[in-house]
Structure 1
Amino acid sequence: MIEIAGAALGWVIPAVVVFGASALLIVVTVWAVRRARAGAGARARAEDERNRAGTTLVELDDAVADLDLEVGLSGALYGGDGAAPLRRARMRAQHARDRAFDDYRRAADPATPVPEARRIAHRVREQAQRALTAVQSARRAHASWVAAHASAADQLAAVEQRWHELHDRIGDPRALLRELQRRVDPDESRDVADAAAAIEHCISESRRQIDAARSLVADPSHTALPAIAAAERALRAAEDAERRLEESHRLVMQAAEAFAGEIDSAREAIRGALGLREGVAGEQAEALAREIRAADEELSRISSNGARRPVAAVDAVARLRTRLDLALGDARTAQQRMRGARTALPGALASARASLARAEADLAASGAGAQARVRVADARDALAHARTVGDPVEALDAARQALRHADDARALCAYARLGRPGGGSAPGRSPR
């Protein structure tokens, strides 16, 4: 009997262990699948909340930009008497927008836990919506004030005077473009060409609105104020385009002057890297040798056509220096890093400025969302830090960070254009 019981136990116990382990495995698997589904669902809900927050935040950002323009219009057209409440509303909306963008960064940060990211995004959406409602209320109140106090005839005379002043000051916006086209390839002068075309369009549109307003001033059954405001808005857009034209022209000319020096500085950096290679061994030495050869070949290619494409050349040299610094790693002393940073900084700053200018233009043309606007704002902040910090190594890191942010913004803008039916342009602005 004892032997039979022992035999039975010898069969039952392994069976219980096997079936128990199987049952436990099934329970654990079901729990893991449910948790994964719940986690995926939580992430999806958080992403949806972030998207909705970003949409509302973009609306607020655009509304603040429109409000800023309206404050300027009120000062230019109506003497500014009715703009004080509008200015206060603009200040409050700007503060609310900037806080919301800071919170949005945290909500979009992968390091933020999913539940917290969802709560932050929900709060951003509510705050942005309240600020948007306040902006719309302030604009309606100001429109009522304008309708009650503004004289169309006087405002038409003021905006027409501004048109003549701006037209005479700008002169021929294509003069700078023709100068560049004699010196550089078309790609290098593209931003100047776009700005010149924008100036011509805005000046023409403002003239058209002024003429339309003149025909309405004498008719008591119609109001000329909307046409007058549209004329002033077009003039301000022309002034913005004039600034873009001058800045784009300056970037090309500065790059043309700096190109030869950047090439010489990069050659010196390559020679320095060759000297440092003697002090490393093994795989690091082989990797460094490959990077030095690639940098030397790339620099030869840049030198061959850099005179006609100076902005692209300075940018390529700055990126080449970044890759070379990464390959050198810890092979340099602190003094060598400092010396290298001093020589690399001017090119890195020029590259970051040019990339940021194009990111801002891409943002205006693409209508990209909150992420692109955040990247543009981050690039501005990093570039400002690079210009003001005293340590060359820290300044170089900040300039390269600005370049990365600007590159990210341009990629997001390109994605936004691809995602829009027809791939056309749409208005867009960036925070701060």
Structure 2
Amino acid sequence: MTDALWWLPSVIVLGVVVAAIALAVSASRRKARGIRAAENAEIAERARTAAISLVRADDLIEAATDELGFAIAQFGERATADFAAALDVSKRQLREAFALKQKLDDGVPDTDTQTRQWTEQITRLADEATNRLNAQTREFDTKRVVEQNAPLQLEQLRRRLDRATDRLAGGAATLDRLATTYSASALAAISGNVQRARAAIDEGRRAADAADARLAAGATEPVGDQVSAAEHGLFTATTLLDAIETGEDQLHVAFASLGTALAGAETELAEARALRDRHEESETSTELNRVIADADTVVAELRRPGRVSDPAADLARLREALDGLDVTRSEARNRQLRLDNAREAFVGARLAARSQIGITRDFITANRGRVGADARTRLAEAERQLTLAEVEADPVTALDAARRAMTHATDADALAHYDAP
């Protein structure tokens, strides 16, 4: 019996494998159905959104068409040209969107990619048309508010124009006062502001008068443009008059900065004169004297009584003069420092050279018959260089000579010891 059922284990294994494969295939199918369901849900949601946008845009175009007729009657075709153009563009976009919707709804099968692209395009076209018309509608709503409030707004504008007119005299007085302290170049940015402000006020009044005339005559033409022109004139005049006050503050601050800079220049000049007077190099003192004189001239000019100032230009001129002074003074300090350092170093170098010369001279004297000419020659040169160093007035040159003396004395000592080991 055992021999007869030898095939049974194989059958069991095969059954297990088949069952596993069946389970895997079933799971894969369930997953695929889930993915497809999610995709279908997304497509359905996109289609719903597109349909809502399309209906909203269609309703708005109908309403905007009526709104445009009202706007033309109230404001005229010229003032509503942009509105009409926007409506035409929105209508073209809506026709394109309806054509895409028809392609989705006809009996021709569409791929998922086509459905997604066309649905997104419908939503975009409808939303753009809606946003464009909403912007135009809001603009004309604002214009209507302006027309409704025009009488009160014109009354307020006239009072503000009157106040701006009252400021003209103060602005002119400020400019006259500033002209006694500051030059024409300093006042150039604001010198014509009173005249320009007066012209702007006059333009504002003319616009307000035109609007009042239309309102008084009961004309149907809108007055919004005239109100805007009056507001612009008022704004321009106010800005110009404010600039006079701001300019005055800025000039006073700059003038105070100039005074501080001139006080600082006096200190720098005093330091430069002290350096010139104690400097050991005549050439450097001469150069210092030149830049001091140039800076002195600038400072004296800027301090001249009764002089009108351009603080910005004056500060730049003073800074240029002081920059030249700073450069020359820095170079002079470096040269003087070099002299001072050389003088200090010379003391040690001279002592070292004198000591080495004495030691070498004593060794040669003690070994007269054994030390040759080379050592004696180096020693003689060392003594000569030391003599030159001690009589040299220039500390740098003296230091160099003392160092050469030390070098020759050291060479002489080495040669002498070589000759007389």
**Which TM-score band (shorter chain)?**
0.3 to 0.5
Q: TM-score, normalised by structure 2?
A: 0.38
Q: TM-score, normalised by structure 1?
A: 0.38
Larger radius of gyration: 2
RCO (CA 8 Å, sep 6+): is it higher in 1 or 2?
A: 1
